Structures are given as structure tokens and as C-alpha cells.
Amino acid sequence: GKHLYRTTDTTSTPFTIRGIAFPTPPEIYNPSTHGYNATTWLAILRQLRLPPKKKEVSPIQDSNSGNSSHPDIITETEAQNEGGLGLNFNTIRLYRMYPDQIDYSEFLEGAAALGIYVIVPLTSAFGHGVLDRTSPAPKCYHPHLFHYGAQALKKYL
């Protein structure tokens, strides 16, 4: 269907996904973290949701008249507080996670605090969680794939 359901102890309410893809943000690659940094990832989510800020104009003295302003110059405050993109989303889809190596709890809890649902992958880019894309189903499912997905579910449910 077109809805997922938000469930409490007594009710189940449908909601519509307004989602975006959230690939691993580019940063200095560290093999031990696979590019994961909860603080950076949450800052990116905040920036995607924040509304854009209106541009402030810094007055520049015109050598001819002495009192004009230049619309292409922004203040230092604006440069430091650019604002965000103002995207209206409630869900992100991650493409790569390594639940057998990294604890994503800080990011998942931070996303939940922002009201953002996270769709996590149950396959990996390498190792035991790789889906064999050269074989048709069911042969594409390596025996270790089930264990990888089960481990991800156990860790974060």
C-alpha cells in the first residue's frame, strides 16, 4: 500500500512516506567507521530540513553617490548561518550500514528525535551481507545474507 502505520499500544495511524535517499555522506574515509559519524549525519539531516534563510545585504559605499548597497554581498553572519534547504521529508533511506561492526544507535535516536524515520538496508556492500546480483532469485541469496539481516534487526528493533 501507500501508507506505513505508526503504532502505539492502543492505536494504529497511517502516515505517508515523504522520503529522500541518504547515501553515506562524503567525508574523510576511515576504514574502521566506513564513513560513519553520527554528529555529521545528524547535522546534515537538520540542514536538509531547516528553511532557507533570507539574504541580508551589507551596505557598500558607492564611490559615485556614497549611499548605495550592493545586493551580491552577504554579511558574515549569513555566511555562518546559511540555513537549510527546507525539504519536507519524514523518512530517509540508508544504502549502507555495517551493524556487525558499528553501533548506529546515536544516529537512529537522533533521527527519531527529529521526527525522521530511517529505512535501513538488510544487505551490505561487501562481506556476508552481499546480495549476488548476477544470479536470479532465489540463488542470489547467499546463506550468510539471512544472518546479516537478522543481526541488523536484532540490534535495532
> Whole-prediction pTM value?
0.67
Q: In the chain, pLDDT over 70 holds for what percent of residues?
A: 69
As to burial, measured by CB atoms within 10 angstroms (0-12 exposed, 13-18 middle, 19+ buried), residue 12 is exposed
CA distances (Å), 149 to each of 28, 66, 87, 128, in order?
Answer: 27, 68, 30, 10
d(CA 64, CA 154): 71
- Amino acid at residue number 111: A
- pLDDT (average), residues 109-133: 83
**Looking at residue 79, what is its pLDDT?**
38
Is residue 117 within 8 A of residue 91, CB to CB? The reply is yes
Instruction: Supply the mean pLDDT for the chain.
Output: 74
Please write the tens of the pLDDT for every residue from 77-93: 443 455 677 888 999 99
d(CA 36, CA 32): 9
